[in-house]
């Protein structure tokens, strides 16, 4: 039987759990707080940042907003990060990407102290994930693991195919699935016979950023399909990397876009902010 995985509902459950945890922390005098930095006026980034601040409000997390003009220099941004790194009242720091072209993104994400790097982008956190030690995990792949677990999908021993090898999604996704004892393949633009590789998957993660690329021909009967895409179709309508109408005839479970992975990313960001203060209580 086919089931739509409701990311919005599951993300609300997680945020409700965090809300209760934040209330308990506040009773002990601990207020989790997230600094959100937005540089420039990219409209998509402005929406993401607004949603992150709304989620903070929902969970009772304090959010500090820094909205800087596109003309901000790299040095000014690094100075702000340095100030927030040493501010004990700030638990998490998030710099919304992409940054304007004159700012080196790697230099900026590397400047965030790993203990406040709630995006999980710092090399120290990425390395910790790889060797299985404590650290912040990138929110989108962490959210996908949570989606699978809360939907009753057992990852252990399963053929997992991740399509896409970005540092934010594909690579950490592969490592997390491996940690759950999945048998993992990371496929990408140079993969030969992509269709055949995808058809092996019990769990297929689509993260290539091409609208409706994956149709039923890429999917094994009964597979669980997770759509990470945030694309626009030919009419400018938001859609994912998966052709939903085609794949729903084949998959046993499928995430929609919107309402699948997107809300989970934000819920896991909230979880990382709370995680940054858990050790203090």
Q: Which of 33, 96, 125, 255 binds ligand GUN (CB under 6 A)?
A: 96
* Nearer to ligand GUN among residue 194 and residue 207 (C-beta): 207
Closest approach of ligand GUN to the CB of residue 273, in Å: 13
Shortest Cβ contact with ligand GUN: which residue?
97
Size of residue set near ligand GUN by CB under 6 A? 6
Give the SS3 label for residue 116. Answer: helix
The label of the residue with tokens 């252990």 reads 156
Q: Cβ-count burial of 265 within 10 angstroms (0-12 exposed, 13-18 middle, 19+ buried)? A: buried
Q: Which of 22, 59, 139, 219 binds ligand GUN (CB under 6 A)?
A: 139
Q: How many residues does the chain have?
A: 281
Q: What amino acid positions are annotated as catalytic residues?
A: 52, 96, 119
Q: Does 31 bind ligand GUN (CB under 6 A)?
A: no
* Nearer to ligand GUN among residue 64 and residue 97 (C-beta): 97
Q: Does 119 bind ligand GUN (CB under 6 A)?
A: yes
| Helical residues (DSSP H) of 99-211, grouped into ranges | 105-111, 123-131, 139-150, 170-179, 194-199
Q: Does 39 bind ligand GUN (CB under 6 A)?
A: no
| 8 Å CB contact between 22 and 52 | no
Q: Which residues contact 62 (CB under 8 A, 6 or more apart)?
A: 31, 32, 33, 34, 56
Q: Does 267 bind ligand GUN (CB under 6 A)?
A: no
Give the footprint of ligand GUN on this chain (CB under 6 A): 94-97, 119, 139
């Amino acid at each position: 039987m086919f089931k739509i995985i409701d990311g919005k509902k599951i993300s609300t459950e997680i945020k409700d759990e965090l809300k209760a945890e934040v209330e308990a922390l506040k009773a002990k005098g601990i207020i989790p707080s997230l600094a959100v930095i937005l540089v420039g006026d990219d409209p998509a980034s402005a929406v993401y940042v607004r949603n992150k601040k709304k989620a903070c409000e929902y969970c009772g997390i304090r959010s500090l907003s820094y909205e800087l003009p596109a003309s901000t220099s790299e040095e000014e941004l690094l100075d702000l990060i340095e100030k927030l790194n040493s501010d004990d009242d700030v638990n998490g720091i998030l710099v919304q990407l992409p940054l304007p072209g004159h700012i080196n993104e790697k230099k900026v994400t590397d400047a965030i102290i790993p203990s406040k790097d709630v995006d999980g982008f710092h090399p120290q956190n990425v390395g910790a994930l790889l060797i299985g030690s404590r650290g912040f995990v990138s929110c989108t792949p962490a959210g996908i693991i949570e989606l699978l677990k809360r939907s009753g999908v057992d990852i252990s021993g399963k053929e997992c195919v991740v399509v896409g090898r970005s540092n934010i999604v594909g690579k950490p996704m592969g490592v997390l699935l491996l940690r759950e004892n999945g048998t993992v393949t990371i496929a990408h633009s140079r993969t030969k016979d992509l269709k055949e590789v995808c058809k092996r998957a019990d769990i297929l993660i689509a993260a290539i950023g091409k609208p409706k690329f994956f149709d039923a021909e890429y999917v094994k009967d009964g597979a669980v399909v997770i759509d990470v895409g945030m694309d626009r179709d030919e009419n400018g309508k938001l859609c994912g990397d998966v052709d939903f109408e085609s794949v729903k005839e084949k998959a046993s479970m499928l995430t929609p876009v919107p309402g699948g992975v997107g809300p989970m990313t934000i819920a896991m960001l909230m979880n990382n902010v709370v995680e940054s203060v858990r050790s203090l209580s």
